[in-house]
Every structure is written in C-alpha cells, then in structure tokens.
Structure 1
Amino acid sequence: MKLKTSLNILFLSFTIITFGQIGTRFPSEKKIIKDPVTGVDLIFLTTKSAGDSKTYPTHPQWTADGEWLIFRSKRANDEAMAVNEKSGVIVQVTEGGYTGTLCMAQKSMKLYFMRKAEGDKMQIMEVNLEGIFKDSQAGKMRPVSAYERVCGVANPEMGASGDMALDADEEKVYFRIGKEEAGRHLDPNIKIEKNFGPRNMGVGPGGISSMNIKTGEFKHVISVPFQVGHIQSNIWNPGELVFCWETGGKSPQRTWTVMADGTGLRPLYPESDFEWVTHEAVISKDEVAMAIMGHRKIDIQKEAPVEVTGSTEIRNPQNPGQESNWGNSGTREKPTGLAIVNLRTHEMIIAGQTKSGSGLWHVHGSSDGRWAVGDDFSRSLYLIDRKTNEMIMLTTGHKDTAADHIHPTFNRDGTKIQIQSAMLSADNKTMNICIVNVPKEWLKRK
C-alpha cells in the first residue's frame, strides 16, 4: 500500500513538472556573467536546458508593465512562459498549448495567440496575464477558464495560421490565410508566382485576414500572388501592416506594406535583383529596420557569386544563402548593411555594416531613433549609435551551432536588448533567454 502511494505521489509530481497547469511557478535561474570578449554583462534569465526560445523579433517581447518577458519553452509540454526580469521567477501562462506567434499587448496585460481546436478549427485566444501573476503569487489559482478567453474561431476553410499580429488599437488581430481562401479574393487575371530559390518556397497565392477580438468578426485584408510571411503590425499606428514574400531566403521583392482595409499595398523597399533583403522589423511609428545582406563572396574572374558543387549544396550548414541557385545577390558589390526605411517619406538609409563576414542579419532598433542593433552569422551582437554612426560589439560567442539565431529585440524604452543564446548550453544547441543592456556611457549621450 505504501509503495502504491509512493508511486502515485511520484507520478503526480512528474505530471505537475511536465504538464503543469497555468500559473505553475518555477524557481529563478537568473545568472549574470560577463562576456569573455567584450566584458559586457549578460543577464541570463533562464539557464537550464529546457527548450527556451524568444518570440520572433517582429513582435514585442515584454508585457505592458515592462516587468515580464514572454517566451516559448518545453518546461511544461510546450506551453508559454513568463519570466520576471527583476526576480527571475518563471510562471506558466498558457494551458492547452498554442500555435505560432505569441502576441503581447502593450496597453493591457493581455496575451494573444492561436490554438488548434477540434475539426481543424483555429481559436484566437486571449489570456489575462495580470490575473495569472496575482493568483500565482498568492498560490490560489482558479480554473483555466478564469484566465483564458476564446475571442473567435476560424473555420478550416480559411486555412488560418499562427503567423499573427495584434493591432496597435488592440481591438483586432491579423493573420495569414490559406491559398484557397486567398485565391477567392484575388483577381483571376493576376499571375500567380511560382516557387523561388532552392528551398522551393514562395508559391502563391497568399493573403491576410483580420478578426475583431471583441466581436469575433472576420474581415479580409489583402490577397497577393505569392506566399505571405512575417505578418506584423505597426504597434504605434493602428491599421498599418508590414509583411513579406517568404521564400526561405532571397525574394524577388521581400518587403511589403498595406493598410488594414486593403488599401495602400506597395513594396516597402523596392529592391533590385542583386539585393538580398531580409528580416524586416517595424521599430517605430514611422520606421522599419531590415537587413540588406552582404554575406556572399565574389568570384572576381567570373564576376558572379561563387558557385558551389551542385545546385543545392550548402557551404556552411549553420548559415543560409550559400546555394548557387539563389542568383546574383547578397554580395558587397553594392551597398549592404542594416537599413532603415521611413514609411512616410519612403527614404532609406544604411545605419551601419560590419567590415567583413556575413554582415548584419537580424536587425532591430529603439523606437526613439537613437539606437539600431543587429546580429551576424557568428551570433555576435552589434549596437549602432544612429546619431554618430559608431558601432560596437556588445557580445559574441553565442555558438553558431545553436538551435536558432539570437534575434535581438529592443524594449520599449530603448535601454536593453533581449536575445536568445546557446552560450551556456552543454549540447551547444539548447537556448536560453538573455538580456543585454545598452552601455551606461551610451545612454548618457545627448
């Protein structure tokens, strides 16, 4: 009898740890270390090998109060987590899973995401984070229904995906729809684009729809003849969207913008065939940062990108773009670097570029226009003063064998940057959530 009771307790403990309920708390793992090369403090908010990863840098990472960061983890069966930046305590904030992007509201303590439901339907969910944090702290959690709300349900024929963004007015969300749904709204005279590049991605049609999170009403936004990806809202300007033609690499025309009513569709940055544009991110009311890659070497004799044996052989498995059939793009024969485009004037500037190597890859910027930040293929992080054009390396050595890239994102105040890092991982792959502060001497600049 005692053995049976012990086994039941053991099973219950395993269940709580692996399939924890909403509000489950995990002890702080916070650890501050100095970068061995730059000496900059790296504030690791998670340090265990638990499958952590940050939300994509096109979206806010901090909650509205600026105290918690939401991230993905395998600590509790692939549920979303929140870590308190000050205390380091970790709290589970979903129960039942999620699909795609985690969207943090910036005017309220709410979290939005999609969840697969019965019959291939897709639920748009809302989570009351304030209630979870308060009850979790008190140790008196209520049923999950007290914190989660189904805002609406997309039927299977819509082909809704978790590539989703929350509007600045926090009254609606935008999300990618399937080819059939997109095709129903597309002019039949428009030519559908084929796959582009060696990854066999990019074929159309694609599209975006919206849903009012208060009423559940769906509205079609736009259909285009190519595959849509990286949908993001301008969180300072309601009804303005940025998205991309997703090919898994170089696109014929990567960046696009459109208004929520379907008007104003245009290329955000009209690119040439020799330009490899990627990883666009809205950084302020009027600006979008993006990388114009300079990662491919030139064969001077052929005056073309260096070929590799076979059409899809990759020179470096950790880094993309080395396949020969991406075309004549991504070299430094033309200007490359961290580009910033003004949504109003359409003007583009190059904020900075590394002297060699891949160049800046994933990029972001502070909303006040002071700083820009980017990583490169070595998983090093560079900070740029946009007023003086000075650039410094903040941190390096985050392992190019990591499960993902470091994906820098600024907080709203422009004082700190969140990354994900495999620096502490024994397997050189597993990632952790890390904060890097803008140097104090830089913040003192006028």
Structure 2
Amino acid sequence: MRKFIFSVVLSSFLFLPNANAQIGKRFPSERKVVKDSVTGTMLTFLTSTPRGDSKIYQTHNQWTSDGKWLIFRSNRVEGEAMAVNEQTGEIVQVTEGGYVGMLNVARNSMKLYFMRRPQDTVAKPNNNGKNRQRELVPMQIVEVDLEKLFADSKMGKLKKADYYQRVCGLTKPEMGAGGDLALDGDENWAYFRVGKEYAAKHLPSGTKLEENFGPRKMGAGPAGIAAMNVHTGEIKYVISVPFQIGHIQTNPWVAGEIVFCWETGGKSPQRTWTVMSDGTGLRPLYRESEYEWVTHEAVISKDEVAIAIMGHRKIQGLDTTGTAVSGANPGQEAAWGPSGTREKPTGLGIVNLRTREMKIAGQTDSGSGLWHVSGSPDGRWAVGDDFSRSIYLIDRKTNEMMLLSTGHKTTASDHPHPTMSPDGTKIQIQSAMLSDDNQSMNICIIPVPEEWLKRKY
C-alpha cells in the first residue's frame, strides 16, 4: 500500500523559472459544477483537467482581498502560480521567474508574496548531469501587484514582469532561508525559516538540542524564524528553538502573532507553538501529552486555532492478532509511541489563544478521525477531512456534524486540505474526483448548505 507522509507540506520544493512563461498569460475556463453522488452537494470545480493543480496549504489564505480570485499552484506553466476567477473560471498566470515554498495572498490588499532564488543562483547540472545546488544562497521575497496584473491581462496589454513584480529585499546567504513564508497580519513583515547553522548562533548558551523523533527520523534542531519588512527590505531576527520548525503561519487579525510547529513528519513531543514577532511569549499553543497525536494546526479567527487530535490508531497499536501494526495506514508504525488512539479524547479541537482553553468541536464515529482542519472567522463553522478524503462540516453553535462531500479518491496525489472562505460561506479543497488517472487534482469549491447559512441562534 502506498504510504503518505504525515503532516508534510510541499513548501520546501524548489520551483524553477520557465523561459517561455509570461506573467498575465490567460487560459480558458475549465469551470464545471458537479453533483456529489453521495451527499447531493453541488461542487464547483474551478479546474477540471490534469494539469498538476494543488491549493495553497490550509494554514494560509487562498482568496484575493476582493474575494474574486483563488491563487493556486499548477503545472500549466511549469514552476509558476495561477489565479482562477471563481465566477468566470478564467485562469491567469500570476508569477514569472519561479517561486520557492509557500504562496502568500494578502487579505487587505491585492498583493501576492513569495520567495524565490535570484536567477544567478539557480542550480545548474554538473558534469555528471546531476543537479548541484549551493548550500547557502540569498533569497528574494517578491511582491506581485495583482490589481494591475488582472486589469492588463484582461485588456491583453501586458507589460514586462518587473512592472507587476517587485523584489522586496534579499536575505543574507548565510541565513539559509527557504521553505515556509508567512505574511504578518499588518502586511508589513514576512516571516521565514532559517537554516540550522544560522539558528544555532541565536540560541541561548547551554540550550539542549532536540534529537530526531519517530520513524521518519525528523525533528532535530535547531531552527529559527526571521522576518523581512516587505516595504524596506529590513531584516530582523525573531527566535531560535532547539527543534525542527515547520508550518510557520501568522494571525491575520493580530499583528506580530506567529504560530508554528515542531515538525517530525508525524507525532511530535510538543507539536504546536506560538511566539510574538519580537521573540517574546514563546510557549506551547496546546500542551499535549504523549497519548495525544496533535497535528495540522491552523489559525481560524482572531483568538482561535483549530487543531486535529488524531484518533486513527488501534488501541495499544495492535491488530486483531496482537501484532504491532506497521504501515497499514499513515502513522500506524509502532515507533510513534502510544498516541493517536481513541482511548483518550480525540477530534477537531479549537484552542483559544487568550484563555488557552480547548474544546472538541466534533469527531467522526470511526476511521481516522478528522485530519486537516479549518474554520470560519465568525466562529460558526469548523471543517475537516479524513483519511478517506471525505469532508465534514461542523456547526459550532449546535455541535451538529454532517458529511458534506465524499468521493475525492484515496488514490489522489495529496489530501483535500479544506480551507474556509473569509466570509464563512464555502470551503476550498483539492480533489481527484474528476481525474481519469485517479491521482491528479483540481481546485474545487464546496458551499456551506443554504439551510445551515440561514440558521438563527
């Protein structure tokens, strides 16, 4: 059976520039509305051909500030990002020159931010034909003016890429910057991960480094977070920690508030963390026990973070014959320890950043439990997927939960990663439902049922 990597985002992949790519290039609409054959929910597929589509990770914003476009990754032009208009289905290329890691769509302005290698540092094949990359290179943080780009693209009067793309600044080569990127709530700073060597220089003397944890042999430290001012290019250091950092995200409603994780590829000794941009206030976001498998945290409102407390493993990690389970499903390996069973409370948890209280919003009756999670900023809804790639919606006011959509194929190249829209009326996922190869994915919108939207409390 094919194994899936637990809690790993593709943010570390390098996307190289395509010499024939042109920012603003338009592609015809592929928009299709399909009825879910099981639930009856009407699904809007904004892309419907096998072109290597994938959504931005659920820790980050997906929609442009005008609410009309979704930004996504695609191989329509290799190494470049796309935008699709939710109403018309029009697709527009929104980067030129490649990008690295996470795409950041601003919530308060029509801007897109990402990281990329300068052209003169892109790895070239060596004499053996293998890729050779310099260990330490500077990285650019780039801003795209989407408002200008969409207008000129529609008129068919495109200018050169640097009219729409602005280099905010350059990181120092010795920082080893790359991977995660997160735009602050004030949209003045962009936070990024730095390499082990640079992070070690900022650790307090005598700090004990953590070792790898779990069968994937990940999680060892140190790691660090730095930031760049997107207006001036100024760089500041935030913090170093003695473990591997993953999934850096920000609170869009509270400037300077950062959430990140201890990344092991599965269960962590302490998964979720928060810190302020000046390096103060470092603490576990949700203090977990060795019996809890916490994963896929996502800031969903001014004061709240959704987390998945997994209930996907058999109690004691044994099968019906008493043999330790290994590899049957993601995370079943015995080496992960005693966590992730339903011997303890599990489900979609909502953690309050201010009071530190946690409530379980809901959980599936059986199976893996809810896995990738999100919620609406107004506090009405929570949403999650599971190992079967099914999507569940939870009414947080009544504690009702419904199967909203299914049939997105367990053979898909990735998981649905549901994300609620800013207005709380719909959910974006990535799905292989329409794929003949049962693997390639498309961008799909699932509406919150009208009868639920009309509820009065």
TM-score (norm 1): 0.93
Partner of 2:190: 173
How far apart in 1 are the matches of 2:395 and 2:287? 26
Partner of 2:454: 444
How far apart in 1 are the matches of 2:67 and 2:380? 20
Give the letter aligned to residue 97 of structure 2: G
Where do residues 149-168 of structure 1 align in structure 2 (5 Å cutoff)? 149-168=166-185
Given the alignment of the two structures, is residue 247 of structure 1 paired with residue 264 of structure 2, yes or no?
yes
How far apart in 2 are the matches of 1:38 and 1:300? 33
How far apart in 2 are the matches of 1:445 and 1:177? 46
**1:137 maps to which of 154, 167, 177:** 154
Partner of 1:217: 234
Given the alignment of the two structures, is residue 226 of structure 1 paired with residue 243 of structure 2, yes or no?
yes
Given the alignment of the two structures, is residue 238 of structure 1 paired with residue 231 of structure 2, yes or no?
no
CA drift at 1:238:
0.2
How far apart in 1 are the matches of 2:334 and 2:207? 30
Where 1:135 maps in the other structure, the secondary structure is helix
Where 2:364 maps in the other structure, the secondary structure is coil
Structure 1 range deviating more: 79-88 or 152-161:
152-161
How many aligned positions are there? 423
Given the alignment of the two structures, is residue 69 of structure 1 paired with residue 70 of structure 2, yes or no?
yes
Partner of 2:336: 326
**1:388 maps to which of 398, 401, 407:** 398
CA drift at 1:78:
2.0
**1:429 maps to which of 413, 432, 439:** 439
Give the letter aligned to residue 285 of structure 1: K
Q: Is the 8 A contact 1:18 1:75 kept in 2?
A: no
How far apart in 1 are the matches of 2:446 and 2:20? 31
CA drift at 1:69:
0.1
Given the alignment of the two structures, is residue 314 of structure 1 paired with residue 357 of structure 2, yes or no?
no
Where 1:130 maps in the other structure, the secondary structure is helix
Structure 1 range deviating more: 154-163 or 334-343:
154-163
Where 2:162 maps in the other structure, the secondary structure is helix
**1:293 maps to which of 310, 327, 337:** 310
Given the alignment of the two structures, is residue 106 of structure 1 paired with residue 107 of structure 2, yes or no?
yes
How far apart in 1 are the matches of 2:410 and 2:442? 14
Deviations 1:124-166 (A, max 9, x none): 0000001110000000000101000000111221011130100
Give the letter aligned to residue 128 of structure 1: D
Where 1:441 maps in the other structure, the secondary structure is helix
How far apart in 1 are the matches of 2:231 and 2:385? 38
The gaps in structure 1 that reach 5 residues or longer are: 1-16
Where 2:147 maps in the other structure, the secondary structure is helix
CA drift at 1:20:
3.1
Q: Is the 8 A contact 2:308 2:370 kept in 1?
A: yes
CA drift at 1:344:
0.3
Partner of 1:53: 54
Deviations 1:226-259 (A, max 9, x none): 0000000000000000000000000000000000
Partner of 1:40: 41
Q: Is the 8 A contact 1:109 1:128 kept in 2?
A: yes
How far apart in 2 are the matches of 1:212 and 1:298? 48
Give the letter aligned to residue 29 of structure 1: E
Q: Is the 8 A contact 2:32 2:45 kept in 1?
A: yes
How far apart in 1 are the matches of 2:20 and 2:34? 31
How far apart in 1 are the matches of 2:179 and 2:235? 15
Q: Is the 8 A contact 2:139 2:173 kept in 1?
A: yes
How far apart in 1 are the matches of 2:317 and 2:440? 39
Partner of 1:207: 224
CA drift at 1:432:
0.1
Moved over 6 A (4+): 300-303
Q: Is the 8 A contact 2:226 2:238 kept in 1?
A: yes
Q: Is the 8 A contact 1:273 1:329 kept in 2?
A: yes
Aligned-residue identity in percent:
69
Where 1:162 maps in the other structure, the secondary structure is strand
How far apart in 1 are the matches of 2:86 and 2:36? 19
Partner of 1:356: 366
Partner of 1:369: 379
**Residues 141, 390 of structure 1: alpha-carbon distance in 2 compared, 3 angstrom cutoff:** same
Which is bigger in relative contact order (C-alpha 8 A, separation at least 6)? 2
Give the letter aligned to residue 364 of structure 2: T
Deviations 1:203-233 (A, max 9, x none): 0001100111111111110100000000000
**Residues 226, 417 of structure 1: alpha-carbon distance in 2 compared, 3 angstrom cutoff:** same
CA drift at 1:188:
2.5
TM-score (norm 2): 0.91
Give the letter aligned to residue 328 of structure 2: R
CA drift at 1:77:
1.2
What is the RMSD computed on CA atoms of the aligned residues? 1.6
Give the letter aligned to residue 198 of structure 2: E
Partner of 2:6: none
CA drift at 1:202:
0.2
**Residues 65, 302 of structure 1: alpha-carbon distance in 2 compared, 3 angstrom cutoff:** closer
Where 1:192 maps in the other structure, the secondary structure is coil
